[in-house]
């Protein structure tokens, strides 16, 4: 380097060092501010080392052998125990199933099955799915999956599902005993994404009333919902019953998207905020939604939670529709899921959500997780579920709907119209009969024997002309052992129980023919909440409730 170059370097070096120094100071101050509320990394390492040391000591010195992974799991659950009940650790082996439900699909072959007489019977084949394209039919018996025999008393549903699932576009050989000719046949099925539908049913209850049942809010729910709603509107639906009973929630954006179809003018749907998260508002986008004007009833119960309560809360606060059923679960917390290095995940509560009127409907968990999870039993014991239209308010702060109706937070969404459980249908004996293996076998046997004759084109035709319930009931009773037979016969002597049991038989046959739409098309005719909703929609009571 020449003398002139060295002179230029001497001039610029102090300036360069100054820039580096100032940049470092700014970065340092910013880093300090960003970490102000976080634990010192030394503390994290010390605490982690402490846990590792304890587990290492147990492994090295404990009197019996232990599984380290279970120790870690229990340790994590111990850390989370003082937090809210919805902050949970999801082990790696359970994560895929949890994510499948929320993502709305998994890689499989696209069929449903049932274990009948220790054999696997195909009870439904997804239209245009992998199994359907390979020629699998309802009634076929699964003999082998790959090299694994899938028959006998040791078989269970979990093992079958595990064998049928696999990587997308991978192949699996399935040996079937064909329902058509009783002969074995091996087919190769290429796995593909199989949808897990979140809309159970969408059908017309009468000439103007549509019904949509949503079982969860997954990544595909809004797409399913809009497709169902458009079909109902196309055949004349002018009012809608949205059934969110037994819906535990799911994705927030699925719930807000559905609300967007009900609300106009950029109305607030919900907002969220937490100590470490900024307030975020979710509003209708202002474009014309699919169903902003027609009469609307939303059904909820004690198992309607989270995203279901967001929908019910927005509809109620804007006086957009009538909420009917029983008080909802009371979950007003928002979780984010964080992946962990071992394949597990932490679902961490990061914010609370608030309905448009400003209420948070989260019920208290101050008495611990066990008491929180036993809330259903407490409601039942207090009589709330079976007849008392009263709710012990944990938060007496008044909030007001758009038309100044009083509503409350802190304990779920209280319906505008309360409908208690029908206790006649809660009999343990009757429920055990309905969900028994014997009834499943009797309905299946009837369906297979008469499959060719059951060529109904529509659920309405089936409902009007099918009259073989007594045949199935008779076959069911002959399968029972003497003590069970005597108890079932006594139950069937009660007119109400017998009518409901026969209706369930009819609904199960309809499900084989028309999937879930068939089942709901029958069972809703005896659903007291739905029938009361139809009554409200068809009378002046609807406008009176909403102050119109």
Confidence bin at 319 (pLDDT 50/70/90): very high
Confidence bin at 340 (pLDDT 50/70/90): confident
Angstrom CA distances, 149 to 127, 162, 186, 201, stand at 26, 13, 13, 35
Q: Which of 47-61, 149-163, 362-376, 446-460 has the lowest mean pLDDT?
A: 47-61
What structural domains does the chain harbor? 41-82 (no CATH), 105-195 (2.30.42.10), 200-421 (3.90.226.10), 425-533 (no CATH)
Q: What is the pLDDT of residue 3?
A: 46
Contact 194, 130 (CB under 8 A): yes
Contact 327, 304 (CB under 8 A): no
Confidence bin at 156 (pLDDT 50/70/90): confident
> Between 499 and 342, whose confidence is greater?
499
Q: In whole angstroms, what is the distance from residue 331 CA to residue 412 CA?
A: 7
Task: Find, among 137, 226, 219, 215, the residue nearest to 176 by Cα.
Answer: 137
Q: In whole angstroms, what is the distance from residue 190 CA to residue 173 CA?
A: 9
What phi and psi, each to the nearest 5 degrees, are found at residue 148? -95, 125
Q: In whole angstroms, what is the distance from residue 413 CA to residue 125 CA?
A: 38
Q: Which of 50-64, 193-207, 284-298, 312-326 has the lowest mean pLDDT?
A: 50-64
Interval 212-216 mean pLDDT: 97
**pLDDT beyond 60 at 31:** no
Q: What is the pLDDT of residue 152?
A: 76
Interval 244-264 mean pLDDT: 96
Q: Which residues contact 393 (CB under 8 A, 6 or more apart)?
A: 408, 410, 411
Q: What is the pLDDT of residue 548?
A: 80
Residue 398: DSSP 8-state: E
**pLDDT beyond 60 at 93:** yes
Catalytic residue, candidates 213, 331, 352, 506: 331
| 331 counts as catalytic | yes
Confidence bin at 41 (pLDDT 50/70/90): very low
Confidence bin at 377 (pLDDT 50/70/90): confident
Write the DSSP assignment of 416-453 as a string of letters. Answer: SEE----GGG--HHHHHHHT-HHHHHHHHHHHHHTTTT
Contact 346, 90 (CB under 8 A): yes
Angstrom CA distances, 450 to 31, 65, 178, 447, 520, stand at 73, 57, 16, 5, 22
Write the DSSP assignment of 98-148 as a string of letters. Answer: HHHHHHTEEEE--EEEEEETTEEEEEEE-TTSHHHHTT--TT-EEEEETTE
Q: In whole angstroms, what is the distance from residue 134 CA to residue 189 CA?
A: 6
SS3 93: helix
Q: Which of 45-54, 69-78, 306-315, 318-327 has the lowest mean pLDDT?
A: 45-54
Strands 239-243 and 268-273: unpaired
Residue 22 CB-half CA count within 13 A = 6
* Interval 514-531: pLDDT, tens: 999 999 999 999 999 999
Task: Find, among 414, 199, 405, 215, the residue nearest to 307 by Cα.
Answer: 215
> Between 416 and 98, whose confidence is greater?
416
Catalytic residue, candidates 257, 306, 308, 357: 306
Bridge partners (DSSP) of residue 322 are 297
**pLDDT beyond 70 at 150:** yes
Q: In whole angstroms, what is the distance from residue 107 CA to residue 116 CA?
A: 25
445-451: long-range contacts, CB 8 A cutoff, minimum separation 24: 445/475, 446/471, 446/472, 446/475, 446/509, 447/509, 447/512, 448/139, 448/179, 451/138, 451/139, 451/179
- DSSP element (H, E) containing 282: strand 280-283
**pLDDT beyond 90 at 274:** yes
Q: Which residues contact 15 (CB under 8 A, 6 or more apart)?
A: none
Tokens (6 digits) for 365: 């968990």
Q: In whole angstroms, what is the distance from residue 427 CA to residue 429 CA?
A: 5
> Between 128 and 440, whose confidence is greater?
440
Q: In whole angstroms, what is the distance from residue 182 CA to residue 202 CA?
A: 36
What phi and psi, each to the nearest 5 degrees, are found at residue 173? -95, 130
* Interval 413-442: pLDDT, tens: 999 999 998 887 878 999 999 999 999 999
Task: Find, among 182, 186, 191, 166, the residue nearest to 174 by Cα.
Answer: 186
Q: What is the pLDDT of residue 473?
A: 96
Q: In whole angstroms, what is the distance from residue 163 CA to residue 156 CA?
A: 11
Average confidence score pLDDT of the chain: 88
* Interval 430-489: pLDDT, tens: 999 999 999 999 999 999 999 989 989 899 899 999 999 999 999 999 999 999 999 999
- pTM for this structure? 0.86
* Interval 160-169: pLDDT, tens: 988 999 999 9
Catalytic residue, candidates 200, 260, 261, 317: 317
Q: What is the pLDDT of residue 367?
A: 87
What phi and psi, each to the nearest 5 degrees, are found at residue 190? -90, 115
Q: What is the pLDDT of residue 37?
A: 41
Contact 248, 301 (CB under 8 A): no
Contact 256, 310 (CB under 8 A): yes
Interval 255-284 mean pLDDT: 96
Q: What is the pLDDT of residue 399?
A: 95
> What sign results for the dihedral spanned by CA atoms 366, 369, 371, 375?
positive
Q: What is the pLDDT of residue 60?
A: 87
Angstrom CA distances, 401 to 278, 318, 321, 408, 409, stand at 25, 6, 12, 10, 12
């Amino acid at each position: 380097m020449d003398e002139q170059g060295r002179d230029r370097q001497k001039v610029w070096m102090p300036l360069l060092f100054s820039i580096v120094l100032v940049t470092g100071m700014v970065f340092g101050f910013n880093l300090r501010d960003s970490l102000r509320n976080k634990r010192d990394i030394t503390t994290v390492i010390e605490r982690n080392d402490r846990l590792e040391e304890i587990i290492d000591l147990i492994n090295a010195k404990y009197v019996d052998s232990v599984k380290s992974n279970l120790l870690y799991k229990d340790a994590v659950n111990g850390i989370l125990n003082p937090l809210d009940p919805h902050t949970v650790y999801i082990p790696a082996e359970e994560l895929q199933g949890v994510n499948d439900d929320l993502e709305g699909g998994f890689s499989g072959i696209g069929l449903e099955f049932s274990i009948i007489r220790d054999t696997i019977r195909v009870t439904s084949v997804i239209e245009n799915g992998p199994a359907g394209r390979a020629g699998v039919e309802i009634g076929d018996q699964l003999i082998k999956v790959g090299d694994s025999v899938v028959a006998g008393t040791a078989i269970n549903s979990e093992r079958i599902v595990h064998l049928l699932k696999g990587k997308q576009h991978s192949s699996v050989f399935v040996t079937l005993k064909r329902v058509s000719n009783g002969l074995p046949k091996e087919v190769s099925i290429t796995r593909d994404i199989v949808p897990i539908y979140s809309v159970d049913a969408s059908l017309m209850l009468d000439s103007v009333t549509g019904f949509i049942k949503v079982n969860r809010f997954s990544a595909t729910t809004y797409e399913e919902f809009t497709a169902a709603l458009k079909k109902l509107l196309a055949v004349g639906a002018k009012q809608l019953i949205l059934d969110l009973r037994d819906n535990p929630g799911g994705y927030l954006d699925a719930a807000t998207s559905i609300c967007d179809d009900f609300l106009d003018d950029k109305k607030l749907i919900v907002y969220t905020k937490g100590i470490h998260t900024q307030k975020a508002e979710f509003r209708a986008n202002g474009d014309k939604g699919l169903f902003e004007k027609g009469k609307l009833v939303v059904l909820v119960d004690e198992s309607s939670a989270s995203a279901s309560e967001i929908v019910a809360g927005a509809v109620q606060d804007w006086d957009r529709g009538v909420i009917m059923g029983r008080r909802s679960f009371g979950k007003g917390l928002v979780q984010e899921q964080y992946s962990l290095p071992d394949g597990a995940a932490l679902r961490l509560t990061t914010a609370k959500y608030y309905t448009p009127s400003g209420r948070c409907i989260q019920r208290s968990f101050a008495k611990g997780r066990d008491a929180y999870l036993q809330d259903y039993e407490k409601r039942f014991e207090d009589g709330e579920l079976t007849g008392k239209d009263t709710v012990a308010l944990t938060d007496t702060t008044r909030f007001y709907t758009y038309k100044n109706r009083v509503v409350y937070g802190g304990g779920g969404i209280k319906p505008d119209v309360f409908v208690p459980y029908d206790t006649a249908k809660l009999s343990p004996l009757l429920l055990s009969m309905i969900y028994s293996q014997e009834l499943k076998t009797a309905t299946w046997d009837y369906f297979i024997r008469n499959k060719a004759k059951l060529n109904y084109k529509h659920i309405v035709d089936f409902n009007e002309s099918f009259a073989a319930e007594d045949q199935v009931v008779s076959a069911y009773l002959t399968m029972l052992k003497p003590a069970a037979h005597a108890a079932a016969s006594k139950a069937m002597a009660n007119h109400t129980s017998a009518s409901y049991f026969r209706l369930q038989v009819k609904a199960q046959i309809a499900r084989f023919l028309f999937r879930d739409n068939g089942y709901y098309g029958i069972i809703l005719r005896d659903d007291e909440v739905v029938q009361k909703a139809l009554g409200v929609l068809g009378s002046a009571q609807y406008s009176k409730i909403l102050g119109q």
